[in-house]
Chain A
């Protein structure tokens, strides 16, 4: 099984981040959501590996302000 890459993997991280933000420039909240949904689908197809996609979904659900505190 391939593991989800969770170590830095994007060359030029600042440049990518700026490009991501720029893609959303001028979008309403609804348009931003729609753009993100399309982006998720495009990237998911590129990855193609069901195991990796499953891990990515779990990672996304387990992170963020509403996520449960990890056990220490």
Chain B
């Protein structure tokens, strides 16, 4: 039996009996991904595109109902573009760049998330998580039809995991009863309550926050502006905060801070929720409740994201507060980081030790996300009279004095981590711009009639700007950057030319103003974990 834990919004992979269930001895798979959420599906797609067989086991038959994660950041869209699913997301999503902060009823300041032009993708789109998952599965289906070795098994729940020297044995429950398979490697992308983590007896330490928040996603036809509106101490939620944000299909996310020690059942009462919504949007706008939920949050991380043949990604590895949209966006960067490394090691193109750098790089990123989201939580929910005093002082000053604006923390929105200290980083030339230093994700820029990021990714690539690439690598992008162009500003600074070695996940591995084939080769070995 595999009981449903939640409703599904889209039924995408109905249970089908697999030949593995009738095999005399357990079938062996190179990579088994536990969990078919955004991270599991993105990783499966990435591996499939690289020709590495990926088997996804999910205990439901599609994307779970409820909007849940709604804010997807530019970097996530760039990753989705590399996987071929970005366009559908952006077409469906609501693009926004502007945030506005209120105190009481006064707008005290607003901000533009991406003041810089010349990027293909916007700073953020809002899109209900089920759509995000569906677009990934749609793309998997298209690629499967072309031969990508991805398999998704619905209503397949992993109930036991046995780590052996030569592999991992999994027991999987289905509507037809349990069966066993073996895996060379397992990726647990099974969410914040990760059953795999539990089966392995691994800890998940961190900080639990006492505050409660109510999400009410409503359907309404309102001409509110498409911006992230955030209130401190609004008249409709005195002493607390609130958030209003637009999603596709005329759905709006309303988020009310409730404080600690609430009566959960009373707050979830539909009449009570409707009353709160009316107080916020006014009495004249009709609406339907689409999805409601009360959440608390914690900021936690596993100690290690790799345990031999088992890897943890997304919420299974680390959990953050929702402020700043660092959960799903951070998770997408996990699988962006893990996909190419797994593929190279499975194919024998890189040593096993390359996989250790998944933990190295993504643990540092998770620490950064946890730090940022904990600081937001502390601003929104002062833990002592002194904390409240300074929070209020900041809000007192913000309207009149620009200097106070950077201190207001209603969420530090997800930006990709720069792996500045990564052991995979090679040579650097400090005369080149800091933003594209080794470890940094590529900054997009117009190239020809297209975009830089559409040209690079998937394989190690040399980007040669205003010069020829050194020999020794198959994938080369040679481009011209005119003085004063965005490309020159982001990659050359004052330098006349540059050579960048780019990793398959579009992060910079090394860069030079001039490089020999030997120097490039050395950086390539370092970036594949061969030192």
B401 near A37 with CB under 8 A, answer no
Name 25 A/B residue pairs within 8 A (Cβ), A-sorted.
A33-B389, A34-B389, A34-B392, A34-B393, A34-B396, A37-B389, A37-B390, A37-B392, A37-B393, A38-B393, A38-B396, A38-B397, A40-B390, A40-B393, A41-B390, A41-B393, A41-B394, A41-B397, A41-B404, A41-B407, A42-B401, A42-B403, A45-B401, A45-B403, A45-B404
A37–B401 CA distance with the chains assembled, in angstroms = 15
A41-B397, A41-B407, A45-B404 known, 17 other contacts, Cβ within 8 Å? A33-B389, A34-B389, A34-B393, A34-B396, A37-B392, A37-B393, A38-B393, A38-B396, A38-B397, A40-B390, A40-B393, A41-B390, A41-B394, A41-B404, A42-B401, A42-B403, A45-B403
Q: What 3 A-B pairs are tightest by C-beta distance, nearest first?
A: A37-B393, A45-B403, A38-B393
Give chain A nearest CB distance to B199 CB in angstroms: 45
- Total inter-chain residue pairs, C-beta < 8 Å: 26
CA distance A33 to B387 in the complex (A): 12
Min Cβ gap A45→B in Å is 4
Complex alpha-carbon distance, A33 and B392, angstroms: 11
Interface positions, chain B 404-461, Cβ under 8 Å from A, are: 404, 407
In the assembled complex, which residues on chain A have CB atoms less than 8 Å from the CB atom of B407?
Answer: 41
A45 to B403 Cα, complex, angstroms: 7
Interface string of B363-402 (1 = CB under 8 A from A): 0000000000000000000000000011011101100010
Identify whether the interface residues of B are mostly helix, strand, loop, or mixed.
helix
- Give Cα distance in the complex from A33 to B391, angstroms: 12
- The interface on chain B, measured as residues whose beta carbon lies within 8 A of the other chain's beta carbons, has a size of 11
Nearest-CB residue, chain A, relative to B401: A42
Residues of B within 8 A of A34 (CB): 389, 392-393, 396
Min CB distance B108 to A, Å, is 15
Q: Is the interface of A mostly helix, strand, loop or mixed?
A: helix
**Closest CB in chain B relative to A71 CB, distance in Å:** 28
B389: chain A residues at CB < 8 Å are: 33-34, 37
Minimal Cβ-Cβ distance residue in A for B402? A45
When distances are taken between beta carbons in the complex, the residues of chain B under 8 Å from A41 are: 390, 393-394, 397, 404, 407
For the complex, what is the distance from the CA of A41 to the CA of B406, rounded to whole Å?
Answer: 12
Closest A residue, CB atoms, query B390: A37
Q: A40 CA to B397 CA in the complex, in Å? A: 12
A38 to B396, CA, bound (A): 8
Give Cα A41 to B390, complex, Å.
8
Which residue in chain A gives the minimum CB-CB distance to B407?
A: A41
- Please give, as numbers and ranges, the residues of chain A lying within 8 Å of B390 by CB-CB distance: 37, 40-41
Complex CA–CA separation, A4 to B235 (angstroms): 43
Residues of B within 8 A of A45 (CB): 401, 403-404
Q: Which residues of A contact B392 (CB under 8 A)?
A: 34, 37
**For residue B394, which residues in chain A have a CB less than 8 angstroms away from its CB?**
41
How many angstroms between the C-alpha atoms of A33 and B396 in the bound complex? 13
Q: Once bound together, how far apart are the Cα atoms of A38 and B392, in whole Å?
A: 9
- What residues on A are CB-neighbors of B393 within 8 Å? 34, 37-38, 40-41
Distance between A60 CB and nearest chain B CB, rounded to angstroms: 13
> From B403, which residue of chain A is reached at the shortest CB distance?
A45
- Residues on B with C-beta less than 8 A from A37 are 389-390, 392-393
1/0 per residue A29-59: CB within 8 Å of B? Answer: 0000110011011100100000000000000
Q: How far is the CA of A45 from the CA of B389 in the complex (A)?
A: 17
- For the complex, give the distance between the alpha carbons of A36 and B397 in Å: 12
- Is there an interface contact between B397 and A42, defined as CB atoms closer than 8 Å? yes
- A45–B401 CA distance with the chains assembled, in angstroms: 11
Bound-state Cα–Cα, A33 to B397, Å: 15
Instruction: For A33, list chain B residues within 8 Å (CB).
Output: 389
Q: Which residues of A contact B401 (CB under 8 A)?
A: 42, 45
CB closest residue in chain B, given A45: B403
Closest B residue to A39 using CB positions: B393
